[in-house]
Chains A and B, each alone.
Chain A
Amino acid sequence: NAGVTQTPKFQVLKTGQSMTLQCAQDMNHEYMSWYRQDPGMGLRLIHYSVGAGITDQGEVPNGYNVSRSTTEDFPLRLLSAAPSQTSVYFCASRRTGSHYGYTFGSGTRLTVV
């Protein structure tokens, strides 16, 4: 199993550009989430999904869109990048049920200039 795979690992965007951060998991996990982590801070939830076709907003959803058309993939779209979106983005997934924790990807480091 590859686990949770995030691409790209690094990205530089210009203000106003759009892009999609990719997240894929091969563990047949129902739950998937996107977090951002700013320097010296804990992770903050952007969006999450409890299954294909179902998404909901987290703590900091503005400026981001998600969709979940398959169990495996949960892409995060930046509509019009702003310097405030410079951050490290982590995707995570877990199995349904109370006995499981989240598996995190290795992150995408995004810089908006």
Chain B
Amino acid sequence: DAKTTQPPSMDCAEGRAANLPCNHSTISGNEYVYWYRQIHSQGPQYIIHGLKNNETNEMASLIITEDRKSSTLILPHATLRDTAVYYCIVLSQGGSEKLVFGKGMKLTVNP
């Protein structure tokens, strides 16, 4: 599975959109991009995933570039409860179930 690169941390003002970048330049055609987050010592929480089209659910939107080498997770109206470590993971469907979490990116939402 391809590796991902995320900045170590980011700040965002409460109520503003948080745009979390992820680079996955070695992604292959059958690999999906998954996003999870972990709020202070809790178990990780699944947010969203996508292959090549943009995706949206009740939590967030996922924008994947046309060449699929990078993506952006968008939290449209960040709240203090969105402060967490966010993990961008690339995983091939139908292959191994081995999520590789890496160190993720700490998002701090400030009042």
Contact = CB atoms under 8 A, between A and B. Distances in A.
Contacts of B103: 40-42
A40 B38 CA distance: 12
B43 A107 contact: yes
Contacts of A92: 43-44
Contacts of B98: 45, 48, 58-59
B99 A43 contact: yes
A102 B99 contact: yes
B100 to A, nearest CB: 8
B46 A43 contact: no
A43 B44 CA distance: 9
A35 to B, nearest CB: 8
Interface residues of B, number: 23
A74 interface: no
Contacts of B45: 104
Contact of B44 (A31, A40, A90): A90
A103 interface: yes
Contacts of A42: 87, 100-104
Contacts of B47: 101
A97 B38 CA distance: 23
B93 A104 contact: no
23 contacts: A4-B43, A33-B99, A35-B101, A40-B103, A41-B103, A42-B100, A42-B104, A43-B44, A43-B99, A44-B101, A45-B98, A50-B97, A90-B43, A98-B32, A98-B93, A101-B47, A101-B48, A101-B49, A102-B44, A104-B44, A106-B42, A106-B43, A107-B43
